[in-house]
Amino acid sequence: MSDDPDKVWPTGLNLKEAEEVHSYLIDGTRVFGGIALLAHILVAFSTPWLG
Amino acid sequence: MSYRTFTLRKIASVAPRYLPFADVATEEVPLSRLLRLSLFQITVGMALVLLVGTLNRVMIVELAVPATLVAGMLAMPLLFAPFRTLIGFRSDNHRSALGWRRVPYIWKGTMYQFGGFAVMPFALLVLSGYGEAVDAPRWVGLGSAALAFLLVGAGLHMVQTVGLALATDLVKPKDHPKVVGLMYVMLLFGMVISALIYGALLTHYTPGRLIQVIQGSAVVTVALNLFAMWKQESRNRDRAQEMASAPQVQFADAWRDLVARPGTMRLLAVIGCGTFGFGMADVLLEPYGGQALGFSVAQTTQLTAIFAGGTLAGFGIASRMLSRGGSAVRLASVGAATGIPGFAAIIMSSVLGGPALFVAGVLATGLGAGLFGHGTLTATIRSAPPDQAGLSIGAWGAVQATCAGIGVALAGITRDILVATPQFSGLPPHAPYNFVFMTEIAFLALAILVAVPLTVRLTRAKAVHPVGTPQTNPVEAP
């Protein structure tokens, strides 16, 4: 696959593969962000830290 | 010194034969890799124990949440169980530029499980009205706790379904029984270990400790699952191109094809009846030992250990029998048939046999549960259409998890109703339990009856293509 024009430097993945790996990263960040937000709201309900 | 090296070499050559399930390793997939993969079952067992055992008690005793609400929350993961079929199907037909089918789903499941655990302690504290949360609207606690339990349930169902499918993909068909045994043993191991650890950590309960324990579980889940799936499924560009050009399959079509295969629905019915029968016992053995036979708390805890020991022996026997080419459905029937005298002995022990008979009954029931669980999962994997292991394992998991969950819930409810109803109050304490145990015997008998045509069909097939049967000549391997 060394002649693949879509190959991305420096990982050796081609464009589609790189995009898929990236999509896992983005999805993971969204889920983590949502979870963290929800957890903070719940903590604020039981022990409010702003007034 | 030569004596010492001789002894060492002798021990080294003997150990793999007697080390349970060490014979799983094949040339392509070494044991270390399979053991590493089976770590996902430990996180599943951990989540199950935390939900059904630990949090059940903590919510009722320490957090003073009403028991009906607790039961409702703990039922949330069950709602997701039927979707295991869909998850398995999706992983079979996944399109990935990397050529992955299973790993993306294990990762997603891990994320959900992590997310649920991360939110859960705060949701429980708000639900129980800890600190300023007394003034919070009711729906905040209810909704967030339900969401947390649903996330954990969805995560563990995804991880288990797709993880088992990956394990099935990795080894050759003749080694499937051994892998199934290994996976079951790791699930049991994870449950036992985590029950001990949770028990020790939560002896002195504080809200801070609850947060630490549950969030610690979240971190352990991600760590173990990452370690388990690392480099298990290879990146494959050829397969990626096949995936991209493969025709789109609809779930309804795939499901219709699976159901149309002879014996599939019958096998699922057997799994449902049998799992329901064995599942009802889990919650009742300990209180039964305490109330009907006057066991102490420590003694009733030993009952669980005896039950688990029987199950472990069942897995071991099933692995040996089935890897020699025995019929998995027949072995499952034998398991259910072992459970019936087991339950009968448990019932009898309250009348005349006493503790010894009871312990024997518990052991037989555990053994039967092990044989039945192993037999049905192996039968499912063996009857799976080629390259569709995920769908079949998903269907198995959906039926198994749903029936086990309903069995546990119904057993508890039946007992509570029978105890609370005044016209029964004149009865001895073992009466309501024995009613439940009778029901279990009935369901196990039903499972065996439903399985009869399957075993008959196998025997007929065997007349044409002989495979050694485990019962008649266990020594002769085909």
Q: Give the model's pLDDT for residue A19.
A: 86
CA distance B95 to B28: 25
Q: Does B143 lie at the interface with A, CB-CB under 8 angstroms?
A: no
Q: Give the model's pLDDT for residue A9.
A: 67
The minimum CA-CA distance between A10 and chain B, rounded to whole Å, is: 17
Q: Give the model's pLDDT for residue B471.
A: 36
The mean pLDDT value for A40-47 works out to 89
Q: Give the model's pLDDT for residue B395.
A: 92
Share in percent of chain A as helix, strand, coil (round to 5): 65, 0, 35
Regions of chain B with pLDDT less than 70: 1, 8, 10-28, 415, 418-427, 458-478
What residues of B are in contact with residue A28 (Cβ under 8 Å)? 111
Q: Which of B375, B402, B380 is nearest to B391 (CA)?
A: B380
The minimum CA-CA distance between B311 and chain A, rounded to whole Å, is: 38
CA dihedral B248, B252, B254, B259 (to 10 degrees): -170
Q: ipTM of this model?
A: 0.86
Q: Give the model's pLDDT for residue B418.
A: 67
Residues B386 and B321 sit within 8 Å (Cβ to Cβ): no
Q: Does A37 lie at the interface with B, CB-CB under 8 angstroms?
A: no
Residues B188 and B49 sit within 8 Å (Cβ to Cβ): no
Q: Which residues contact B477 (CB under 8 A, 6 or more apart)?
A: B324, B325, B468
Q: Give the model's pLDDT for residue B26.
A: 59
| Closest Cα in chain A to B134 | A46
Best probe of the B interface among A15, A46, A50, by most B CBs < 10 A, is: A46
- The model carries a pTM of 0.83
Q: Does B138 lie at the interface with A, CB-CB under 8 angstroms?
A: no
Is A46's CB within 8 Å of B140's CB? no
Whether residue A1 has pLDDT greater than 50? no
Q: How far is CA B208 from CA B56, B125, B204, in A?
A: 18, 10, 11
Copy the structure tokens of residue B132.
């300023």
Q: Give the model's pLDDT for residue B275.
A: 92
Per-residue pLDDT tens for B131-186? 888 888 888 888 999 999 999 999 999 999 999 999 988 888 888 888 889 999 99
Copy the structure tokens of residue B182.
């290994």
Best probe of the A interface among B103, B126, B130, B235, by most A CBs < 10 A, is: B126
Copy the structure tokens of residue B293.
């036979």
Is A17's CB within 8 Å of B123's CB? no
Size of interface A-B (CB pairs under 8 A): 58
Is A14's CB within 8 Å of B97's CB? yes
The minimum CA-CA distance between B141 and chain A, rounded to whole Å, is: 8
Peptide bond into B429 cis (omega under 30): no
pLDDT band at A5 (very low <50, low <70, confident <90, very high): low
Q: Give the model's pLDDT for residue B443.
A: 92
Q: Does A14 lie at the interface with B, CB-CB under 8 angstroms?
A: yes
What residues of A are in contact with residue B136 (Cβ under 8 Å)? 45-46
Is A35's CB within 8 Å of B130's CB? no
Q: Give the model's pLDDT for residue B477.
A: 37
